[in-house]
Amino acid sequence: MRAHASVMHLDLDAFFAAVEQRDKPSLRGKPVVVGGVGGRGVVSTASYEARVYGVRSAMSTREARSRCPHAAFLSGRFHAYREASHAVMSLLRSVSPLVEPLSLDEAFVDLERAGLPDLEVETVTAFAEELRGRVTEATRGLTASVGLGTSKFIAKVASDLDKPDGLVVVAPGTERDLLRPMSVTVIPGVGPATTERLRRAGITTVADLEAVSLDELVRLVGKAHGSGLWSLARAQDDRAVVADREAKSVSVEGTYDTDLTDRRLMEGLLTRQAGEVATRLRKHGLSGRTITIKVRLHDFTTLSRSSTLVSPTDATATIARTARALLADLDTSGGVRLLGVGVSGLADWVQEDLFGETEAEEEPLPEVEVPHHSRRTWAPGMDVEHTEMGRGWVWGSGRGVVTVRFETAETPAGPVRSYAEDDPALSAWVPPPLPDEQG
């Protein structure tokens, strides 16, 4: 803990929904819900007008619709969110070199490096207030809630106390009095499971937590978590603000509106996801050794299987083949609602490519037909182009009919159309070298 309230936490208010209202004046003052709009979608962000009706983040879109049928339901324009986020992060970095983004809409800023004349409460308060105004300017109208405190924990708690469009400074020395009456859930890392465990032990507030010994806490919630809670309950937090944290994994996953049962289709989808993961790895100059697939069954049981290669890869074919091999060991007969592929164990260098695809030393993998862009046979997952519908990908094929899903960034679950296999309007789509698809 520092002597001064020099850690700042900034949080953009109802970020995705606010960007939509900014860009579309007809939505201002109205309930807006951004999230998945498919049958299994959930809410990412609800505008404050929608929150009045009880719509919350992580709620199923179905429930949000029933609570607030007249809201605008939008699937999200991530390019616009990224752009607004970038404007804010750039502004913050112009103020201090130590900026730690937590997501598109949140960051810590270390004011010890902001070149202020001093770090007294009045000084940092005036500085933060002015900065909030500059954030609104830089984003053409978005508002931010800001908290200042002697640690990350306190700054984060503070930014939550006067939302939206607020500023709270917790004066040094007042932290523990502030925390004591609060629920244990204010502590980052205390979610539903931990809250329930603590509740059974009679612990519901930070004051309760403070009264529990370290040994007892470790017994209740484990070693790392227990010692973390013990410290945070006393407002002891020395975590530094760290700029430029490196990514540790890259993954793509998707939940499908209806459960998948066709293994061939699942393989096609995994192949497609592997391609997206590989593209993102290459874009950031990364490669990784561990390939993981994630499979969520019809009953929501979630399985993962991973395999670590001898050397890092960023090759679609290697990731795809490994992913399909991992799937081969799983029983998916009850149906699958989610499939995902990830790569971890990242290195910021790429293996020198001595063997073409560099898979010479890998264990033999089962024979699976890889969808191939240059052939006019339609395999699930392959990219196609239709003269009228534009770009899409093969969802299924057979008996002379090919089903294509036309999907864009705006509509992840786009329209599905079926064509005769030999329909001349349909052609294979070969991706350009290193497409720079999204920011």
Partner DNA sequence: TCTGGGGTCCTAGGACCC
Position 231 contacts DNA (CB under 7 A)? no
H/E stretch holding 317 reads helix 316-328
Interface residue with DNA among 23, 54, 62, 355 (CB under 7 A) is 62
Contact 172, 124 (CB under 8 A): no
- Residue 363 touching DNA (CB under 7 A): no
- Measuring CA to CA, which residue among 106, 109, 116 is closest to residue 93? 109
Closer to DNA by Cβ: residue 132 or 294: 294
Q: How far is the CB of 427 from DNA (least distance, A)?
A: 27
Could you say which of 66, 94, 304, 408 contacts DNA (CB under 7 A)? 304
Query: Taking contact as CB under 7 A, which single stretch among the options 103-111, 121-129, 263-271, 365-373 is the one that binds DNA?
Result: 103-111
> Is 105 among the annotated ligand-binding positions?
yes
- Spatial CB neighbours of 205, under 8 Å, sequence gap ≥ 6: 180, 181, 182, 183, 184
Active-site residue identified among 20, 49, 106, 359:
106
Out of 222, 389, 407, 428, the only residue in the binding site for DNA (CB under 7 A) is 222
Task: Say how many residues touch DNA, by CB under 7 A.
Answer: 55
Calculate the alpha carbon distances from 295 to 57, 257, 342, 422, 428 in Å.
Answer: 24, 15, 12, 34, 29
Q: Six-digit token pair at 114?
A: 């902001």
Residues 200 and 388: their CA atoms lie apart, in Å, by: 61
Please list every residue from 35 through 54 that binds DNA, using CB under 7 A. Answer: 35-36, 39-42, 44
Q: Which is nearer to DNA, 127 or 273 (CB)?
A: 273
Among 98, 190, 235, 384, binds DNA (CB under 7 A): 190
> What tokens were used for 288?
């990784």
CB 385 → DNA: shortest distance, Å?
Answer: 23
- 178 part of the interface to DNA, by CB under 7 A: no
Closest CA to 150 of 185, 112, 184, 177: 112
CB of 141 to DNA, least distance (A): 20
Residue 240 found at the interface with DNA (CB under 7 A):
no
Whether residue 106 lies in the annotated active site = yes
Query: Residues 329, 334, 340, 346: what is their CA dihedral angle, to the nearest 10 degrees?
Result: -30
Residue 105 within binding range of DNA, rule CB under 7 A: yes
Neighbours of 384 (CB within 10 A): 21
CB burial readout 248-257, b (16+ within 10 A) else e = eebbbeebbe
Nearer to DNA, 123 or 143 (CB): 143
Q: Which residue is associated with the tokens 């990350």?
A: 152
The runs of H, that is alpha helices, within 201-287 are 206-210, 214-221, 223-233, 263-283
236 part of the interface to DNA, by CB under 7 A: no
Give the residue numbers annotated as catalytic, written as ranges: 106
Could you list the residues known to form a binding site for Mg(2+), using ranges. 11, 105
Q: Give me the residues that bind DNA (CB under 7 A), please.
A: 35-36, 39-42, 44, 57-58, 60, 62, 102-103, 105-106, 156, 188-195, 222-225, 247-255, 280, 289-290, 299-300, 302-308, 337-338, 340, 342, 344-345
Could you list the residues known to form a binding site, using ranges. 11, 105
